[in-house]
Structure 1
Amino acid sequence: MSLFADILSTVFERRYVPFGLGRVDSRPLPDLTAELIGASGEVTGQAAARAILDRYAGMDDAAKRAFFTHLARERTIDPAALRAALEVYEKGEDKASYRALMQAAEPPRQELIRRLNQVPGATRALVAMRADLLRLGRGDDALMALDMDFRHLFASWFNRGFLVLRPISWESPAHILEKIIAYEAVHAIDSWDDLRRRLQPADRRCFAFFHPAMPDEPLIFVEVALTDGVPGSIQALLAEDRKAMHARDAKCAVFYSISNCQAGLASISFGNSLIKQVAADLSAELPALKTFVTLSPIPGLSRWMEAEGLKAKDDEALRRLAARYLVKAKRPDGSPLDPVARFHLGNGAQVHAVHAGADTSDKGRKQSGGAMVNYLYDLSKAAQNHERFATAQEVAQSAEIRALAAEKGQ
């Protein structure tokens, strides 16, 4: 980690008392939110913000939903005020009319969320609050509109400029290692010995993004295997009895697990920056590395095959179906049906190779019949691939994948 990143992390780290442990302000929540939005003094604003967050920390789901409904319906845009501001702005586009238009166009709840974030520890609490909103607000258009305000603010607060990339090793603090075990979402870590095998050998790496306001909470992390060639089996990659290689001899870096850690940061994209930053750092450390690939699950393959009435009679047929699914199965908006494919293709990767019998775990067999895919990150072509995917939903693919997807039969 660079000296600047280390300093940044130290400067922004703030100690705090967990919310819900202080004196509870008994005033109605609408009064508290009105006070916070209208507060002109820092002390008054911090007191109101602390009171709201303390109250929220003690709520059950019904009370949380009522709080979100209050914000969604009573702290939203005033259409009449917005129309009036727009009329004034159209008559004379000056600084004052533009400021008035901006103020009218922003719902008061956005300012409320900003002001809630002014007390120590609030960023973590607001991320948890958004996780509750996503969980409790499904199917409610007003609450999903409120979520757009959270997303708008989080996209700024958690942009790449504020994130700190840290390597995770077997020597990292135990509380961080415990969270890596808990947050692993692709290939479960079964024990501390399992974690050691992923972190301690010379040919293994792990990197995570942290935010200075949440220094003990990884936002997203990637596990990397350094290998001689492109792998086609996760079991072989993670085998207990495998022989580790010298990192300097590795020619390929394999991103075999990428896990988002915070439910409250869903749809706030870190993966693109993480993979490219890790690839750049590894290239600088290990000049012999020439290939950067994933070994990724294909979580929607079995469902798609069932919906299409398709069955694979052998491994080669499964590879053909997997290739066809990855490059041809689409959602109504034209994007790939598979969520992992959308992620990597959106980052500028190409579908490189598919493998049968690559994940023999119960989860792997259930979701894809055991098939996995390599996405290739050619950093010299990533921007071009991303642009073609974003503008025309063009799927970058190797000649092998194109041939497999074109073959008939199951």
Structure 2
Amino acid sequence: MLVGIPWISIITKAYRSPGLSGINLGKFLIKRVIHLLRRDMPHISIFATLSPIPGYMHWLLPKFASQIKLSKSESEDMKHFSEKCSGSNFIEDLLLPEEKEMILSGYLKWLQSGTASEIEFDKSECMDTREHDSVKDVTEITYELLTSREWNKSDILSEALKPPLLRLCARYLLKEKKRGKALDVVANFHLQNGSMIERLNWMADSSDKGIEQSGGIMVNYVYRLDKIDEYAQSYLNTGHIHASSSLHQYLEVITEVVPVFLIRNVNKAPRVAMLLFALYELYKYNQCLCSRYVVNE
């Protein structure tokens, strides 16, 4: 929230045309709009957009699908252990423990409310999820709800999915990059023109297209006249993304990843898995890495 500072929202869209490839019209258009606005309202010095996030769900849903696929992988013989150690297969737990609990609780309430439509799950598996903290079951529920595109019609499901969707959206905008620049095309457009990411807006676009593209979330990009050139050069030269403290707060909790070979052996041979886990931790310590790893017991 921008308090005590005059500001105005500009609704923007990024248009792409093959004939204009390589020509940065965005910076010209934004400066032109700012010039016209300041001519009529000279007291305004901070401008903001209300922008879509078209690539968010396109990035997120495959992440969930990949996690489900890995978690369902069958256990392999210990003779393949060395191959797994040398590989880079990890199961990333996209959902925090409290988020999984909230989603499961909301989902069960939704089932009991009688408003559930054609989305069907095994309720017994959901109950097991709460007891054993299984990554697989809650992730599958979340994935099925998001792909159904009906979750936003239920206040219960919407409130349950709001925290993880906002947190993962902040990660998508701030951390997910391609060739050193923001993965989202609209984010890249505004950042290279000197903006900063200010705020996520829940259900700012509840249309079918908005739910399909970004889970209904829209974002404010803020242009401060005294910072436009500095932010643009910083982003273009180093890929650094300027963002408000409210965006960075979403990233304070680091999600944990679990080595696949540990997941595959923990139920079959828990003592062996714990030994492997200890060896793996020692290896990571020697590599001077600070990531945390957990084993489901």
Provide TM-score, normalisation by structure 1: 0.37
- Equivalent position to 1:339, from 168, 181, 185: 185
Q: Which protein shows a greater Rg?
A: 1
Post-superposition offset of 1:318 = 1.6
- Corresponding position of 2:210: 364
Post-superposition offset of 1:387 = 1.1
Local SS of the residue matching 1:254: strand
- Equivalent position to 1:267, from 11, 17, 22: 22
Determine the C-alpha separation between the residues in 1 that align with 2:190 and 2:253.
24
Determine the C-alpha separation between the residues in 2 that align with 1:387 and 1:259.
20
How does 1:7-406 map onto structure 2 within 5 Å? 251-260=6-15, 262-309=17-64, 310=94, 311=142, 313-331=160-178, 333-406=179-252
Determine the C-alpha separation between the residues in 2 that align with 1:407 and 1:376.
25
Contact 2:13-2:51 at 8 Å conserved across structures: no
Determine the C-alpha separation between the residues in 2 that align with 1:307 and 1:261.
25
Q: Which runs of 5+ in 1 are unaligned?
A: 1-228, 231-249
Determine the C-alpha separation between the residues in 1 that align with 2:16 and 2:166.
31
Determine the C-alpha separation between the residues in 1 that align with 2:246 and 2:26.
26
Local SS of the residue matching 1:405: coil
Post-superposition offset of 1:334 = 1.6
| Root mean square deviation of aligned Cα | 2.4
Alignment partner of 1:407 is 2:253: yes
Contact 2:54-2:186 at 8 Å conserved across structures: yes
Determine the C-alpha separation between the residues in 1 that align with 2:56 and 2:14.
20
Change (3 A) 1:265 1:319: same
Determine the C-alpha separation between the residues in 1 that align with 2:21 and 2:9.
24
Contact 2:201-2:218 at 8 Å conserved across structures: yes
Contact 1:356-1:372 at 8 Å conserved across structures: yes
Post-superposition offset of 1:316 = 2.5
- Corresponding position of 1:114: none
Change (3 A) 1:306 1:260: closer
Local SS of the residue matching 2:177: coil
Change (3 A) 1:306 1:262: closer
Identical positions, percent: 35
How many residue pairs get matched?
Answer: 162
Post-superposition offset of 1:286 = 0.9
Higher relative contact order (CA 8 A, sep 6+): 2
Post-superposition offset of 1:305 = 1.0
Contact 2:199-2:247 at 8 Å conserved across structures: yes
Post-superposition offset of 1:277 = 2.0
Determine the C-alpha separation between the residues in 2 that align with 1:366 and 1:261.
21
Determine the C-alpha separation between the residues in 2 that align with 1:351 and 1:383.
15
Amino acid at match of 1:374: N
Post-superposition offset of 1:284 = 2.1
Contact 2:49-2:220 at 8 Å conserved across structures: yes
Determine the C-alpha separation between the residues in 1 that align with 2:18 and 2:183.
22
